[in-house]
Amino acid sequence: MHRIIHRLLAALLPVITVLSANAQTNTMEKANTTGHAPVNGISMYYEIYGSGNIPLVLIHGGGSTIESSFGALLPLLSGYGKIIAVELQAHGRTSDRNAPESFTQDADDVAALLQYLKIDKANILGFSNGASTTLQIAIRHPEVVNKIVVISAAFRRDGFIPGFFEGMQHATLDNMPAPLKEAFLKVTPDKDKLLAMFNKDRERMQHFKDWSDEAVKSIKAPALVMASDHDVITVAHTQQIAQLIPGAQLAILPGIHGAFIGEICTAEKGSKLPEVTATLVKEFLK
């Protein structure tokens, strides 16, 4: 049965206090393993943290890297166990292919990476475009999915706030947030590759087509669906996703797009929301 998670912050305060103390000394953790996997014609970059039986796969947002999406959240998830963070086609340290980006192709790439790493089953957490990719993994590759956490996902154009697609038509690299450009160039110092990634991200959203309700209903994996109350995805659309996926749980947290995971462009100094998010995610994945 559909449930809305609205945890009382008072109940989480003891946990948040401990996490907050740890976070003050935590920066992006050092991965146990990093590598590139030959996946569907690209060289896909990944990082592995910790150990455990069912890994948690992190999938970043559009225009992002592992660090820019999850630099704040990843250390807070460290108690989970094994975590695999990836970078998708043309993003960060992953190579490009002579083909447009698509959520279905990204889903196939992540599934192929898991096969390459000899992982039979994983939990998947995606943010923004990475959350839409996570939905597609659950639709196209249900055999590899244990549970999913989708943060600011969309499967219909009307799920975005008014003006989103009109703004996308006029977007240029100059409009791209500076922290995202800097994060890309930090790991891949090539402005031509940055521009190629930006153009493919923009074109994917310009040509985005609605998915059917039936496709989302077909997801059988337990799901935690999350968004901010002032997100680029509407609360109503987020509720719709949670209503379509059988038994899904829903959490709407305060803030703007990415703020409650500490995403590099919207993180608020001193905010405890990433700790709250990490606690909810780890509770859900138990």
Closest CA to 36 of 101, 99, 89, 106: 89
pTM for this entry: 0.91
Percentage with pLDDT > 90 across the chain: 88
* Type of residue at 87: E
112: pLDDT confidence band, cut at 50, 70 and 90? very high
Q: What is the pLDDT of residue 78?
A: 82
As a whole number, mean pLDDT of residues 218-247 equals: 98
pLDDT above 80 (res 23): no
pLDDT above 90 (res 256): yes
The number of distinct structural domains making up the chain is 1
pLDDT above 60 (res 33): yes
Tens digit of each residue's pLDDT (9 = 90 or more) over 170-184? 999 999 999 999 999
**What range does the domain containing 261 cover?**
3-285
Tokens describing residue 35: 């590598």
Tokens describing residue 271: 């905010």
Q: What is the pLDDT of residue 74?
A: 97
Mean pLDDT over each residue of the chain, to the nearest integer: 91
3 state SS of 205: helix
Q: What is the pLDDT of residue 28?
A: 59
Tell how far CA 185 is from the center of its chain.
20
Cα separation of 213 and 208, whole Å? 15
CATH number at residue 99: 3.40.50.1820
Closest CA to 238 of 254, 257, 251, 219: 251
Q: What is the pLDDT of residue 266?
A: 97
Cα separation of 228 and 233, whole Å? 8
